[in-house]
Structure 1
C-alpha cells in the first residue's frame, strides 16, 4: 500500500472484508508493507491498518519479492512513477483516480502494463454500485431504446470555507485539475460505461476562492490551517461544467464542484432514451428510478426499483432488498472484481485502459476551457 490516508483505509477495508462478504475469494490478501513519505505517517498507517511492516521508500516496497499487488493511493502526481516501477517489477497495480496528470502518461501506463502482462484496475468505485449494474443491463437490453441524453453531477461543499487550507489538491503540478479530476472523473467513468465514448466536449471552469492558508500538520483531509501564514494561490478549478457529444449520437452534461454550498455530498445521474429513462442519486443508493414509455396511461410515471439480491453484487451483502450500501462497501465489490480478474487471468472491469480514456476527457475539457471552444476527442 503506497500511501496511508483515507483511501489507504478504504482499500484495506475492502481487502479485509471481501472474504467475509462473499464467503470465499480466490486469494486471501496478506498485508505485507505500507509506504509513506515520513516515518511518522508510514508507521502510524501500518499500525492502524494492520500491515506487517512499513517503509519510507516506496521503491523498496514495490520491488519486494514478497509483494504481488501494489495499491497506489498517493497524490496524483506520483501515480505514474509508482505504477511504472511496479509494472517493471511484474506487480499487478490498483491505482486511484485520476490515473495520471496527462492522457499521454495514462496511455503509457496502460501500454506498459499490457506489455508486461500484469493486471490493472482504477479506483472508479461508483461503477460497482448495484444500481449501475442494473442501469447497464437495462441499457444493453434495449429497454430504454436509443440513449438521447446523459446528465451527471458530483458536487460537495467541503471547500466552501475560504480558510480550508491549501493542500496538494489545490496545486496543479501535484493534482492536475481540481474538482474536475477529483469528482468529475467518477461521473465521466459512469458516462463512458453507460453511454459509450465521447467525441467532443465544451467546458467552463471557475476558481471562486483564489487563495487559501498554509496547512498545519498533515496535508490531506482534515488538515488544520495556519491563518497567520501567507496565503497561497489556488491553481485549479473549484467548479467545472461541460457539455459532451457521444459517438452514439447522444449528448450530455457533467457538473463537478468542491464549493457547492449546501451540498455536503451529492452525486447523481439521469439517462433519457427513446423508450424510457433512469434517475439515480447516490445518497439514495437503495433505489433506482425507472420510467418506461410503454407503460399503460393510467400507470405513467417513474417507478422506484428497490435494489436487492438480483441487482449486481448486492446479494453478497444482504439477502433482502432496500438496505443502503456505503461507499466503503462499493470498494469491497471493487476488490472482489480485482482479485477475481487476477485469478481468472482476464481484464478487470475498469482497468488502466478505462483510466486512460477518462484522462483523455479530462484533458480535452481543460483544453476547451482554456480555448473557449468545442474540442474533439480521439477515436478509439
Structure 2
C-alpha cells in the first residue's frame, strides 16, 4: 500500500518533513511507501516552486478539498491553523501529524484531542526531540532505574534570532496567530520532555516577558505590535514529588538553538544539550563526576538505521526517525506516542503557565 501524503505548509518544517520522506526508503526499508501527492498553501506562485523543490505531484490553495485526496495530512501551518484542518481530517479518518504546539489556545487543543479520540485515524504531534538517539537513551536510563528516583528536572531552550530589536515582525509574534511566543514555540518541546522523562505535572508557577514591543513590518510599512512573550520561566511540581525548572528565550545572545536538559536522581544524574546532540553526560552511582557517552552505537535507539559507530547524527535525523514511527503506526493501525493527548497535556501546561504569570500564583493542573 502506498500512502498518499498531503502537506499543509511548505516552509521550514515542510522542507524537514519532505527530506524525511525522501530518506525513509534508504534508511528505513520497512517503512510504508509514500507518495507526496499534494502541497497546500495560499500563494500559487510560491506553491508551485515549493512543490517542485519538495517533490509533490500537485498543489492546492484550499485544504478542505485537498484532504479528500490524501491518506495522511502533515499539518505544518502556523498555530492558528492547526485546529480546523486537523479536526476535519480526523473526522474523515485521514491520519494527521500536527506540528507543535497542538494549537494556539487550550480550547482548540481540547477539541482536537477529543476528535482524535473518536477517530479511527492516527493523530500524532511532532515532538521530534524524543526521537534523537541521546534523548531516547536518556529515557531508557530513567526506566531502568539507573538514576534512581528522579528528584529534579531542569530544561532550557535558548535562541537569539529576536535579539536585534530591528528583526522583522512575523506571525510568530502575534498572540492571535501563535498563542504565545517563546513559551509555546520552544517551551512546548521542553515541557514535553519533562513529562516524557519524569511524569505528569501537578502545579506550575510562571513568568513571561516581552522585551521589544514593536518590530518593523516585513513589508516595510511602519511597525507591528509584538503581543507574545520573548522569554518565559516556570517552576514545576511533578505528581511524583520531583521538582522542575524550565525556561526559554528568543533573545539570548549567542544561543542559536540551544535546547538542554538535566535530571537529578537519588543514584545518579544526566545532562544533554542539542548543541552536542550525540552526547550524554551521565553520573552513575559509583562515579565521582559525569562521564561522557557518545550515543552512536548500533544498540543505541535508531542508530542501527544510520551510520557506523562514531559517525554522528544531526537535528534532521530526529525528523526521519519520528516520521518512520508515525507512518508505521498508520500502516499497521498501531499505537503512536506522542499523540494528541500528549499534545493536549503540554497545551494544558502552556495555558497554566500563562495564567500563573497573569495571576501571580501557582496554578493547579
TM bin, normalised by shorter chain, reads over 0.9
1:221 — aligned with what? none
1:352 aligns with 2:340: yes
Corresponding pairs, count: 358
2:78 — aligned with what? 75
Match of 2:275, SS state, is: helix
1:222 — aligned with what? none
Per-residue CA deviation, residues 38-92 of structure 1 (Å, 9 max, x unaligned), is 212221221111100101111111122xx10001010100000110111122100
8 Å contact kept, 2:163–2:250:
yes
C-alpha distance in 1 between matches for 2:105 and 2:40: 25
C-alpha distance in 1 between matches for 2:260 and 2:90: 35
Match of 2:234, SS state, is: strand
Shift of 1:344: 2.6
C-alpha distance in 1 between matches for 2:93 and 2:29: 29
2:15 — aligned with what? 9
Per-residue CA deviation, residues 254-299 of structure 1 (Å, 9 max, x unaligned), is 111111012122111000000000000111112111101234xxxx
TM-score (normalised: structure 2): 0.96
Q: Residues 299-310 of structure 1 correspond to what in structure 2 (within 5 A)?
A: 300-307=288-295, 308-310=297-299
8 Å contact kept, 2:132–2:317:
no
1:183 equivalent among 177, 183, 186: 186
2:210 — aligned with what? 207
1:220 — aligned with what? none
C-alpha distance in 1 between matches for 2:14 and 2:188: 19
Shift of 1:116: 1.6
Match of 1:162, SS state, is: coil
C-alpha distance in 1 between matches for 2:167 and 2:114: 38
C-alpha distance in 1 between matches for 2:282 and 2:348: 31
1:264 equivalent among 256, 266, 287: 256
Shift of 1:326: 1.5
Per-residue CA deviation, residues 146-179 of structure 1 (Å, 9 max, x unaligned), is 1000000111001111111111100001000000
1:30 — aligned with what? 35
Match of 1:127, SS state, is: helix
8 Å contact kept, 1:4–1:41:
no
1:336 aligns with 2:342: no
Shift of 1:142: 1.0
C-alpha distance in 2 between matches for 1:57 and 1:159: 32
C-alpha distance in 1 between matches for 2:245 and 2:25: 38
2:361 — aligned with what? 373
1:252 aligns with 2:244: yes
TM-score (normalised: structure 1): 0.92
2:315 equivalent among 313, 327, 332: 327
Per-residue CA deviation, residues 358-380 of structure 1 (Å, 9 max, x unaligned), is 10000000001111111010xxx
Unaligned runs of at least 5 residues, structure 2 = 1-6
Per-residue CA deviation, residues 185-243 of structure 1 (Å, 9 max, x unaligned), is 01111100000000111011110111101113xxxxxxxxx2xx221110000000100
After the TM superposition, which segments of 4 or more aligned residues of structure 1 sit over 3 Å from their partners?
none
2:276 equivalent among 284, 287, 291: 284
Match of 1:237, SS state, is: coil
2:225 — aligned with what? 233
C-alpha distance in 2 between matches for 1:15 and 1:108: 29
C-alpha distance in 1 between matches for 2:343 and 2:171: 21
1:170 — aligned with what? 173
Shift of 1:309: 1.6
C-alpha distance in 1 between matches for 2:362 and 2:236: 9
